[in-house]
């Protein structure tokens, strides 16, 4: 695939880069950011995939989180994809919580979204294959994210047992089929049949999981979050985890 290096910066003895590539899955050009830790021997670094939230792109976590320092110390590569397809041809909506910047990490089935909005396939197949082919990283990986991206990280981990060694999330949308953000997105992307929504709902996926699929799971949630009661409701996922004896830590602070 044609890749173009947009930026490169030295950062904590490693390299922070931003790339553009043509995505066959999303039918558009996509950007992603990657932090490559300093090389300290023959072992290739494992990868942490980070999925950002509503209105974000690949630069939010890159510039705001300060994660490169810790990743450099631990020898972890960070991959920060965009949150949705982009470009003039890509369907959009005036609302911040639908369309560009709000892909919800699923495969849309409804027009006009279905042509481009296939972030799940992009993250499951196309982007990891690209990262493996183009960078000296290990195939061992974990996934994390924030808000909508926390939803994405949980869904990616729950739908792909064995792919990730752990999953973590800051203030994730855990039960999208039952809260306004998810209901708006799912109605548009997936249609009115709420049964199809369950395939993209972390709580439903966890309740349907098998014991051997469980991986260490951390949810970190601020107790002053304005969206805690209306949109996030991490206790619902914690209860699903309790029922399934899933190793989930819910850290409220």
Closest CA to 202 of 184, 219, 220, 226: 219
pLDDT at 66: 96
pLDDT at 133: 96
- Alpha carbons 170 and 71: distance in angstroms, whole number: 17
**Residue extents of the structural domains in the chain:** 3-252
Helix (H) or strand (E) holding 10: strand 3-11
pLDDT at 1: 58
Average pLDDT by stretches of 10, the chain with 253 residues: 92 98 97 96 95 98 97 98 97 97 98 98 98 97 98 98 98 98 98 98 98 97 96 97 97 97
Q: What is the pTM of this model?
A: 0.97
CA 232 → CA 150, 153, 182, distances in Å? 10, 14, 10
- First-to-last alpha carbon distance for the chain, in angstroms, is 43
Instruction: Decide if 204 contacts 242 (C-beta within 8 A).
Output: no
Taking the domain 3-252, which CATH number applies?
A: 3.40.50.1820
């Amino acid at each position: 695939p044609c890749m173009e290096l947009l930026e490169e910066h030295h950062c904590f003895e490693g390299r922070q880069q931003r790339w553009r590539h043509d995505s066959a899955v999303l039918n558009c050009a996509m950007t992603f950011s990657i932090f490559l830790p300093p090389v300290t021997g023959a072992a290739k670094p494992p990868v942490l995939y980070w999925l950002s939230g509503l209105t974000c792109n690949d630069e939010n976590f890159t510039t705001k989180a300060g994660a490169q320092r810790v990743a450099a110390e631990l020898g972890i590569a960070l991959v920060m994809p965009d949150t949705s397809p982009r470009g003039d041809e890509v369907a959009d909506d005036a609302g911040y919580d639908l369309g560009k910047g709000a892909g919800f990490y699923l495969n849309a089935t409804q027009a006009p979204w279905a042509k481009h909005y296939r972030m799940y396939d992009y993250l499951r197949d196309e982007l990891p294959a690209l990262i493996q082919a183009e960078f000296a990283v290990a195939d061992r990986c974990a996934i994390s994210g924030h808000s909508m991206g926390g939803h994405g990280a949980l869904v990616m981990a729950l739908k792909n047992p064995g792919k990730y060694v752990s999953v973590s999330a800051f203030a994730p949308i855990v039960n999208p089929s039952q809260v306004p953000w998810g209901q708006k997105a799912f109605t548009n992307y997936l249609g009115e049949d709420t049964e199809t929504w369950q395939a993209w709902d972390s709580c439903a996926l966890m309740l349907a999981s098998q014991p051997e699929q469980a991986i260490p799971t951390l949810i970190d949630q601020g107790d002053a979050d304005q969206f805690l009661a209306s949109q996030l409701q991490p206790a619902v996922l914690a209860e699903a985890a309790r029922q399934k004896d899933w190793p989930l830590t819910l850290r409220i602070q």
